[in-house]
Amino acid sequence: MLNPNDYIPAVIKPTIVKPKRSTTALNNRIDGSFLKGPIPMSWLNRASAASKQGSALAIGIAIWHIAAMEKSHTIKLRPSVLERMNISRQARYRGLEVLQNAGLISFKNNRGQSSTITILV
């Protein structure tokens, strides 16, 4: 039988194990365009509530997309972006008007040029 006085405690050295980085996250890149945030949910909720036909929300998403790419809250809304999102010219004007009346954006139509839009957060 072992005598408790004969016990010699073993020294255990702690080892730090670093978790391996997942390479799947790096390999799963998004192809094509995507919407970059953060976009305030309160802004999206107000745009959605103000829009009866959905054009204001669609325009709002397009505005945030361009603003993220240009890293600015003041942008030019080019027709090519809206065409890619299947937003008509009439829906564009309706949506901009609704967003402005809701206090979410301010915009200025420049004759013969793209609209200048400022996101109001």
* Model confidence, pTM: 0.69
Both tokens of residue 38? 């953060």
Residue 100 CA to residue 74 CA, distance in Å, equals 14
Q: How many residues does the chain have?
A: 121
Express each pLDDT in 42-94 by its tens digit: 988 888 888 877 889 989 988 998 999 899 999 998 888 888 888 888 888 88
Q: Give the model's pLDDT for residue 89.
A: 86
Provide the pLDDT for residue 36.
81
The pLDDT > 90 percentage for the chain reads 26
For tokens 């999206």, the residue is 44
At residue 19 the predicted structure's pLDDT band, cuts being 50, 70 and 90, is low
Q: Which CATH architecture has domain 35-119?
A: Orthogonal Bundle (1.10)
